[in-house]
């Protein structure tokens, strides 16, 4: 069976979309192949890397990318994971099906390292539940 492809899009491709890519490519890689991109390019947040490491998934080699590099690629699913990405990228050519799932930005949490990491873990877990429910049917 051919794996379905999914592109996760967020604004900066630094946390939510990166964690989603890592989850799919490590937990659901028997059925899906994931990519991620942003409407802007930045860098993968260390807290996203740390939150994924907590469940033994290493995303430290993943890099922030813009949607431009995927403009000629076809995807089974395109998922915007924040409202800003949905508003700035409401249509992605070549997608068979679109989803929008607005996850809180864990980068906006202030406080100690532990408080911030807890926010990233909470968002990671919500993304994982969403993937199971919506893409693993």
Q: Where are the alpha helices (DSSP H) in the chain?
A: 16-27, 46-53, 83-88, 113-135
Q: Whose structure tokens read 């994931």? A: 34
Catalytic residue among 10, 20, 47, 78: 10
Assess whether 10 carries a catalytic annotation.
yes
Assess whether 131 carries a catalytic annotation.
no
Q: How far apart are CA 33 and CA 4, in angstroms?
A: 6
Assess whether 35 carries a catalytic annotation.
no
Catalytic residue among 27, 57, 89, 109: 89
CA atoms within 13 A on the CB side of 98: 11
Catalytic residue among 82, 85, 117, 135: 82
Task: Based on DSSP, count helices (H) and strands (E) in the chain, helices before strands.
Answer: 4, 4
Q: Which residues are catalytic?
A: 10, 82, 89
């Amino acid at each position: 069976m051919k794996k379905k492809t999914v592109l996760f899009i967020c604004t900066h491709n630094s946390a939510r979309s990166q964690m989603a890519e890592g989850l799919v490519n490590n937990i659901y890689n028997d059925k899906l192949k994931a990519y991620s991109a942003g409407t802007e390019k930045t860098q993968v947040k260390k807290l996203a890397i740390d939150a994924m490491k907590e469940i033994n998934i290493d995303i430290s080699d993943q890099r922030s990318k813009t949607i431009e590099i995927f403009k000629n690629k076809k995807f089974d699913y395109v998922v915007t994971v924040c409202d800003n990405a949905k508003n700035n990228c409401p249509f992605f050519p070549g997608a068979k099906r679109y989803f929008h799932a607005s996850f809180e930005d864990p980068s906006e949490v202030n406080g100690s390292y532990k408080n911030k990491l807890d926010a990233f873990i909470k968002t990671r877990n919500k993304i994982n539940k969403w993937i199971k429910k919506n893409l693993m049917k």
